[in-house]
């Protein structure tokens, strides 16, 4: 293989999605809802294909379907507090993955360093490497809050440690809020600290905000692009898969200043060229509809979080019952849980892997409950910090969570 692919052939999703297919376990692993999106969303796709003229089934504008970039701009004008130029400041991609890939390939030069905060969505690391860059990792540290219930807010960025990661080679930092897998929602002071360093060292911020609408209690999603001096250096990334509960539609977007975004466009036009038109048409309709009710409780951006909060609380209760120690997430739809109290015999598993990998494989095969190992979201050197946690996905039907509860209750 070419050198740029060395060491990145193994992939957590390939491995653990297959394990679920093989075992038919109750699936709290890979992140996706097991229920329908709002009715108007699926109907919109059918209607787009059948009733909005034959051209909706043909190629559309490469950097984004005109109706979609217009609709996205209207929504994000409000979120970002500025007037976007839809043609130059929005790029539609194949999922948030596509946005991340175009960002790395479009902005990172050979030898550049990219700072990645751990835990991180796993693809950041191989994407930096494929672009010829070097990932530089900084783990969130766990503070003792004095409470015996862990919260994602107990994980923090150490200011001195973060500052020490910025060098003359740093090109970019990736920030993911709300975070996958932890559920941390960065507070304004934390984002300001990151922003100050980006400005001081002339660094670009790739802000992965795919869970932007899923925050709980008092946690507020803050967009780093809205901090003073940050619009000019931030690419904000979103996903229709997360926003409308249609992960299989694989549509995402990058928003940023045109002098940066044009390089993402160059990558996109030469590998994807254009995303599926009916999907873009349907997502455009979705944004138009939600924009018109954006301040009401019915707006799906709010309604989904309302639906998820009791599932989160239920998940935490179920896990606590048997001795898992959950980390209550402030956002997103995942929950980490500590597994040290779970006494299991893992001698049947290949010893040559992190503890959490062994635990998840054992549990999937022997208990019929699938999850994802937390150390998949850490660099090789830092996996020991991570391997006593596993990740549960709770955007599931209550009946699915009840099946998981039964498995867990029968554990002993």
Structural contact between residues 334 and 176, judged by C-beta atoms closer than 8 angstroms: no
**13 touches which of ligand PMP, ligand GLN, none (CB within 5 to 8 A by kind)?**
ligand GLN
Structural contact between residues 401 and 362, judged by C-beta atoms closer than 8 angstroms: no
Question: Which tokens belong to 167?
Answer: 């060098």
Smallest gap, in angstroms, from Cβ of residue 121 to ligand PMP? 4
**Does residue 247 belong to the site contacting ligand PMP (CB under 6 A)?**
yes
Region binding ligand PMP by CB under 6 A among candidate stretches 95-103, 110-118, 280-288, 295-303: 95-103
**Integer Cα distance of 186 and 177 in angstroms:** 6
Smallest gap, in angstroms, from Cβ of residue 106 to ligand GLN? 21
Counts for the chain of helices (H) and strands (E), in that order: 14, 16
**Integer Cα distance of 283 and 210 in angstroms:** 15
Long-range contacts of 310-317 (CB under 8 A, 24+ apart): 311/394, 311/395, 311/396, 311/398, 311/401, 312/216, 312/394, 314/394, 314/398, 314/401, 315/392, 315/394, 315/401
Smallest gap, in angstroms, from Cβ of residue 15 to ligand GLN? 11
**Does residue 241 belong to the site contacting ligand PMP (CB under 6 A)?**
yes
Region binding ligand PMP by CB under 6 A among candidate stretches 50-58, 77-85, 245-253, 254-262: 245-253
Region binding ligand PMP by CB under 6 A among candidate stretches 46-54, 64-72, 93-101, 155-163: 93-101
Q: How many residues sit in the footprint of ligand PMP (CB under 6 A)? A: 14
**235 touches which of ligand GLN, ligand PMP, none (CB within 5 to 8 A by kind)?**
none
Q: Site residues for ligand PMP, window 179-218 (CB under 6 A)?
A: 180, 208, 210
Structural contact between residues 358 and 345, judged by C-beta atoms closer than 8 angstroms: no
**Integer Cα distance of 375 and 118 in angstroms:** 10
Region binding ligand PMP by CB under 6 A among candidate stretches 91-99, 127-135, 182-190, 396-404: 91-99
For ligand PMP, the binding residues (CB under 6 A) are: 31, 95-97, 121, 176, 180, 208, 210, 239, 241, 247, 250, 252
């Amino acid at each position: 293989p070419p050198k740029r692919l060395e060491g990145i052939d193994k992939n957590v999703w390939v491995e653990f999605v297959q394990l679920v297919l093989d075992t038919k376990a109750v699936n709290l692993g890979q992140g996706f809802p097991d229920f329908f999106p709002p009715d108007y969303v699926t109907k919109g796709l059918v209607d787009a294909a059948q009733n909005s003229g034959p051209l909706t089934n043909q190629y559309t504008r490469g950097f984004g379907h005109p109706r979609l970039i217009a609709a996205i701009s209207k929504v994000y004008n409000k979120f970002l507090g500025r007037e976007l130029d839809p043609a130059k400041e929005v790029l539609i991609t194949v999922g948030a993955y596509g946005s991340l890939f175009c960002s790395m390939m479009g902005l990172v030069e050979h030898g550049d360093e990219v700072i990645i905060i751990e835990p991180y969505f796993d693809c950041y690391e191989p994407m930096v490497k494929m672009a010829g860059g070097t990932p530089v990792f900084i783990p969130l540290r766990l503070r003792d809050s004095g409470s015996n219930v862990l919260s994602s807010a107990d994980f923090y960025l150490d200011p001195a440690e973060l500052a020490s990661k910025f060098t003359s080679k740093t090109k970019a930092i990736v920030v993911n809020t709300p975070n996958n897998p932890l559920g941390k929602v960065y507070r304004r002071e934390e984002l300001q600290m990151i922003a100050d360093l980006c400005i001081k060292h002339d660094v670009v911020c790739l802000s992965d905000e795919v869970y932007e609408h899923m925050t709980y209690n008092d946690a507020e999603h803050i967009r780093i692009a809205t901090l003073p001096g940050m619009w000019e250096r931030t690419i904000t990334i979103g996903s229709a898969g997360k926003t409308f509960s249609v992960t299989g539609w694989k549509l995402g977007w990058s928003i940023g200043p045109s002098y940066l975004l044009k390089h993402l466009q160059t990558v996109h036009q030469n590998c994807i060229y254009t995303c599926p038109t009916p999907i873009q048409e349907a997502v455009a309709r979705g944004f138009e509809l939600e924009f018109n009710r954006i301040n009401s409780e019915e707006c799906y951006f709010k309604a989904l979080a309302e639906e998820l909060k009791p599932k989160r609380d239920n998940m935490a209760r179920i896990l606590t019952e048997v001795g898992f120690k959950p980390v209550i997430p402030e956002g997103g739809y995942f929950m980490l849980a500590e597994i040290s109290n779970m006494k299991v015999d893992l001698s049947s598993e290949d010893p040559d892997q992190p503890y959490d990998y062994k635990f998840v494989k054992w549990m999937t095969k022997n208990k019929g409950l699938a999850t994802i190992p937390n150390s998949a979201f850490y660099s090789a050197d830092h996996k020991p910090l991570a391997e006593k946690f596993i990740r549960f996905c709770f955007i599931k039907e209550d009946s699915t969570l009840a099946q998981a509860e039964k498995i867990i209750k029968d554990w002993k």
